[in-house]
Each structure stands twice: as C-alpha cells, then as structure tokens.
Structure 1
Amino acid sequence: MSTEQKTPANGFSYTLTRTLDAPAARVWQAWTTPDQYAQWAHAAPGSVELDVRPGGAWKATMVTPDGAEFPLTGSYLEVAEPSHLVIGMDIPGRPEPETMTMELTEQGPRNTVITVSQTCESAEARDGAEQGSGMLLDGLEGFLAEGARG
C-alpha cells in the first residue's frame, strides 16, 4: 500500500513509536553516547563518532546481520536534550541530507515513548529506512533491558 504524503520533500513517510522501560535521560544517553550507541545500533566497534550539538557531525559504520558494512555520515540539525533530535543523513548523489526525527516523551519515572519519523523520496527508500529504524529500536529496547537487569 503506497501512501504518498504531501510534505516539504514530497516524499514517503513513516513513523515508529515504542514505549521503553527507561527514563528519557537514560534513552537520550544511549542514543548520544558513542560507546553505548555502538552496542545497540549494530555499529562496527570503534566506528561511532557523535558530536551531539546543532551542526555537529556524526558517523558510524553499520553492520548487517550477514556481516556487510555500510558507512554512514551526517550531522545534527536540531538538538534539545533530553527529548528531541533531528538527524541529517548524507545520501550519495543528493545535495541535501535526508532527515530523521527522534522524539522522547517521558510518561513516568521509567516509561519513555520514543517516536522516530522520516520522509524519503520513494516508497522503496521509505520501506528500507523504516526497516532499519525498526532494527534500531529493537536494538535500543534490548540494550535498555540489559541495563535494567545489570
């Protein structure tokens, strides 16, 4: 089912939402600390650099389940700790970065709703980005659960 949305990019959008068993500050730390991010985001060890401030750069080499590596780069467009990130992702051949928004809404001392959204140029790109974001959220949820037990 294709759902073309009239957005500033005239692209295809998705939104994923999860409720995490952690305070917003803990989720923010996991998303913005290089060694923690590498543990849950399927990144190659030593490949993550995060300069979390507006205009700050980030990079990471993601590793797929079959071992293929994909270097990614970008910058932070908006940063409002501990609740809001707009992340620009460099796409080869495109002058403007693709953006992903991450919002955290605390709903109690150990309940945080995370919402990840992105608009892409095609249904195929949206489907791939949505699958990748789902994998990220799965990894984040598992990492936070491990921390809760440890």
Structure 2
Amino acid sequence: MTKEQTTADGFSYTLERVLEAPVPAVWSAWTTAEAYAQWSYAAPGSVEMDVRPGGTWKSTVVTPDGGQFPLTGSYAEVEVNRRLVTGMDVPGKDEQTLMTVELAEESAAGTHITVTQTCDTAEQRDMAEQGTTMLLDSLTAFLKTVN
C-alpha cells in the first residue's frame, strides 16, 4: 500500500507516502550509513554519517548513466524516530539547502513519511523533487527486503 501526495509551492515541494515498515526501521534506513548506502544510489564505501545536530555526512551518488556526484552536508535537527533536518552543501552558495524528513506512525507496521525541501529556482525544485521521488521509490523497495 503506497499512498503518495505531492505538493509544490513556489520553489518548495513536499512528498508524502505511507511506507510498509515501522518507524524505527525507516529511521534506521535513513540514518545508518550501511543501510542508507544500500538504497540511496551511493557509490560503495562513500557514505559517512554522524547523525547528531551539527554532525556531518557525505555520500557519492551514482547516476543511471554512471556519473558520480559527491555530496556533503550536516544535520541541523535530529529527533530520533521523528524528524531529521539535513543540510546539503551547494557549490557557490553560503547557506546549505535543507531537506526535512518527518516520520509518524501510520499503523503498527506503517510509517507516514513527509519530505520537504525549498530550493532557489523552479528548475532546482523540479530536479530535487525528481531525485527525492527516486529515493523514496528505492527506500520503499529496500524496506520490503528488510521487514
């Protein structure tokens, strides 16, 4: 059962889904380097996470055509099993781009996930939304293999 809702407002987007996994499993998939690497299109060995406010993360994303993009950032907010605000470093920009992931129990075995991000332009928003949709699709498939 995957319910999905997308809302775009200005240069922001919000994606919502119900995942067939308990909140702690979804949290672990998003905040454990070994698990995250399995579903996030990351190059092997490239994911590092220090999941605490002010902690840093890095990952190298591999695109479908084989290109590699190193990403870095930090954690602005961490509320275990509830809310994760991740900042991503953007070349040429002083401030990080923030992505908020919120988790809520939908049922004993289900999690409502909401991902929100604000970008500088409509084009950046559309690209980020497409990337996040791919991530959520991959996360959904990954959770089916570990539950």
TM bucket by the smaller chain?
over 0.9
Gaps of 5+ in 1: 6-11
TM normalised by structure 1 equals 0.91
Q: 1:99 aligns to what?
A: 98
1:136 and 1:123 mapped to 2: Cα distance? 20
Deviations 1:76-132 (A, max 9, x none): 000000110000000000000000000001111101011101000000000000001
Contact kept in structure 1, 2:50 and 2:57, CA below 8 Å = yes
In the superposition, the TM-score normalised over structure 2's length comes to 0.93
Q: Could you tell me which amino acid in structure 1 is paired with residue 15 of structure 2?
A: L
Partner of 1:130: 129
Q: Aligned partners of 1:60 and 1:4: how far apart in 2?
A: 28
SS in 1 for 2:137: helix
Looking at secondary structure, tell me which structure has more strand per residue. 2
Determine the structure 2 residue equivalent to 1:55: 54
SS in 2 for 1:107: strand
Counterpart of 2:136 in structure 1: which amino acid? Answer: L
Question: Which consecutive residues of structure 2, in runs of 5 or more, have no partner in the other structure?
Answer: 1-7
Figure out how many residues of one structure are paired with residues of the other and give that number.
Answer: 140
| Paired AA for residue 136 in structure 1 | L
Q: Post-superposition shift, 1:136?
A: 0.7
For the residues of structure 2 that align with 1:19 and 1:65, how far apart are their CA atoms?
26
Distance 1:104 1:66 in 2: 32
Deviation at residue 66 of structure 1 after TM alignment? 1.2
How many angstroms apart in 2 are the aligned matches of 1:113 and 1:67? 32
- Runs of 4 or more, structure 1, over 6 Å off, are none
Counterparts of 1:1-150 in structure 2, within 5 Å, are: 5=10, 12-148=11-147
Distance 1:60 1:135 in 2: 16
User: Over residues 13-70 of structure 1, what are the superposed CA-to-partner deviations in whole Å (9 max), with x where a residue is unaligned?
Assistant: 0000110000000000000000100000000010000100000000000011111100
CA RMSD of aligned residues (A): 0.9
